[in-house]
Amino acid sequence: MTTLELLGVSKVYRGGKQAVDGLTLRMGPGLLGLLGPNGAGKSSLMRIAATLTRPTAGQLRYDGEDAVRRPGPLRAALGYLPQDFGVYPNLTAREFLAYLAAAKGVPAGRARTRIGELLELLNLTEAARRPLGAYSGGMLRRVGIAQALLADPKVIIVDEPTAGLDPEERARLRNLLAELAMERVVLLSTHIVSDIESVAGDIAVVAGGRLLRRGTPEELLAAVAGQVWEVLVGTQEVAEVQARHVVSRMVRTPEGVRVRLLSPFRPYEGAVQRMPDLEDAYLATVGAGGVR
């Protein structure tokens, strides 16, 4: 069984900025959703897991072996989509993917077949012979996903994979990653709760470079049971409510502003308790970790 482990990993950049702080994650086949706000250290953690950045402290282990000292086996088994993915704008999608397949050591015949499969899967077949410089941001993101899957990897690491995708494309990608995760280690990083709530049975919430909570969606929801409230307030009261509570959403109505907030007790007279959703659980965890 394929395993990927980050054990007590820290990353401190020049100038003393600590991006990751003693974080441990153990992964086997399945999809782990790494959820956290921008600046939480997710991208640094993903780069360490992809062997692109050496940790300042801690271990990265692939199938029990030290992947910092011997990164070759993990790199050979890895499909990686970084948050910032660059292309050669004058190449077509087919040419670009063929170039990357050769760099990954995929035999030419197998590469042609695989590229055709991926272009079809990611709805890029009709645009496959157009130069990448003419692609939209969402189309380039799909090309990035295709290159990550070229060598049929055992470990897939994707950082903010749905950036620039429309709702239909986002759903297609989520379903694809969920299917791939049945036999592979898939690590998906995002700050968008909806990207993982329907596909991840295992969620890790990070902020400030630290792991705040890990569990199933049901476990995260149970942690905020009885703490989600909805109250109608005047427009002039909104700032005070936001200062006192973690607010998950607000809706303006003709009667005032309907605020959904987190509190261990009834926060205001007339507040009505609501069933929590995953966004409530995420914000409660991040708020407790010192980020508001």
- How far apart, in Å, are the Cα atoms of 104 and each of 76, 108, 124, 247? 8, 11, 21, 46
CB-CB contact of 81 with 144 (8 Å): yes
pLDDT of residue 292: 34
pLDDT of residue 291: 39
The CATH topology of domain 4-215 is Rossmann fold (3.40.50)
Q: Where are the domains of the chain?
A: 4-215, 226-275
pLDDT tens-place string over residues 111-120: 999 999 999 9
pLDDT of residue 288: 60
Cα–Cα distance, 27 to 32 (Å, whole number): 8
pLDDT of residue 117: 94
CB-CB contact of 222 with 277 (8 Å): no
**Residues in the chain, pLDDT under 70:** 288-292
Q: Give the number of other Cβ atoms within 10 Å of residue 71's Cβ.
A: 17
What is the reported pTM? 0.88
